[in-house]
């Protein structure tokens, strides 16, 4: 049996990631692939427990280093319990966020540095990487802070950080696309949902059977 492929979908707040995750999963299933949709932080029982610790409570609940370690610990469990077993079964795994969120949020925006956070991943998960990482990006100012507030959602510990933090997150994703152009692709998230899904599929073209 062919091993499955591991795809992560990334982006700042409110770029339409959830809509695209559903649409992409359906499109892949339509091509006859078995698809498992998962998310970070979370995706396994242990990692979902850590998710609550990370996203609930006071913004200053964790120091930047403790926060990065919690994300790395959740990711190690997610990979071991959920992602690797599914891939071994020939399933395609589609994750709503993965390592590049830690590199962009904790590494770039949080000030720890992209390399320091990558080192945590080397230790925690032996540098296990997606086959492809698709980063949805909107022009500056069109992003999610507005979307979150529109929903009357106060946001979580991290989503509610100031605009400068989120601008820095976008910069982190762009840096990753420059560093690893084969794995990390920036996808224009403007236009109709159908158009964006078509861009995502195009960026997976060389992996599709
Ligand atoms: P969500 O809004 O996509 O559910 O993600 C939860 C929040 O956690 C979001 O604000 C991004 C943040 N996050 C990080 O800061 N680092 C990470 O490694 C991951 C996976 C998420």
Residues 60-102: tens digit of each pLDDT: 999 999 999 999 999 999 999 999 999 999 999 999 999 999 9
Average pLDDT in the chain: 93
> How confident is the model at residue 146, as a pLDDT?
44
pTM of the model: 0.95
160 Cα to the center of ligand 1, angstroms: 11
The finding on whether 71 has its CB within 6 A of some atom of ligand 1 is: yes
Confirm or reject: Cβ of 16 under 6 Å from ligand 1: no
For the chain, what are the domain ranges? 6-203
Which pLDDT value is given to residue 143?
Answer: 58
Instruction: Point out the ligand 1 atom lying closest to the alpha carbon of residue 71.
Output: 18
Model confidence at 204: pLDDT above 50: yes
Q: What share of the chain is helix, strand, coil (3-state, %, to 5)?
A: 50, 15, 35
pLDDT of 142 over the 90 cut = no
Please work out whether the CB of residue 75 comes within 6 Å of at least one atom of ligand 1: no
Element (H, E) at 187: strand 184-188
Q: Ligand 1 in contact with 158 (CB < 6 A)?
A: yes
Interval between CA 29 and ligand 1 midpoint (Å): 26
Report how far ligand 1's centroid is from the alpha carbon of 117 (Å).
15
d(CA 71, CA 64): 11
Mean pLDDT is lowest, of 28-42, 93-107, 127-141, 189-203, for 127-141
Q: Whose CA is nearest to atom 19 of ligand 1?
A: 101
Tell me the average pLDDT across 145-150. 46
Residue 37 buriedness (CB in 10 A; 0-12 / 13-18 / 19+): middle
Fold designation for 6-203: Rossmann fold (3.40.50)
pLDDT at 147 over 50: no
Per-residue pLDDT tens for 117-134?
999 999 999 999 999 999
Which residue, chain included where needed, has tokens 């990711």? 75
- Mean pLDDT on 92-118: 98
């Amino acid at each position: 049996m062919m091993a499955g492929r591991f795809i992560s979908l990334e982006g700042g707040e409110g770029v339409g990631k959830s809509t695209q995750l559903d649409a992409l999963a359906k499109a892949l299933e339509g091509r006859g692939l078995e698809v498992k949709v998962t998310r970070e932080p979370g995706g396994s029982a242990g990692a979902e427990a850590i998710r609550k610790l990370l996203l609930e409570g006071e913004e200053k609940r964790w120091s930047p280093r403790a926060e990065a370690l919690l994300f790395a610990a959740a990711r190690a469990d997610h990979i071991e319990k959920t992602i690797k077993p599914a891939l071994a079964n020939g399933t395609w795994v589609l994750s709503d966020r993965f390592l590049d969120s830690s590199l962009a949020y904790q590494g770039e925006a949080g000030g720890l540095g992209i390399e320091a956070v990558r080192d945590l991943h080397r230790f925690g998960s032996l540098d296990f990487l997606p086959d492809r990482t698709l980063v949805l990006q909107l022009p500056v100012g069109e992003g999610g802070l507005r979307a979150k507030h529109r929903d009357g959602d106060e946001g979580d510990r991290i989503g509610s950080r100031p605009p400068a933090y989120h601008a820095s997150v976008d910069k982190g994703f762009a840096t990753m696309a420059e560093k690893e152009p084969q794995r990390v692709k920036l996808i224009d998230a403007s236009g109709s949902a159908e158009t964006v899904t078509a861009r995502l599929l195009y960026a997976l073209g060389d992996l599709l059977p």
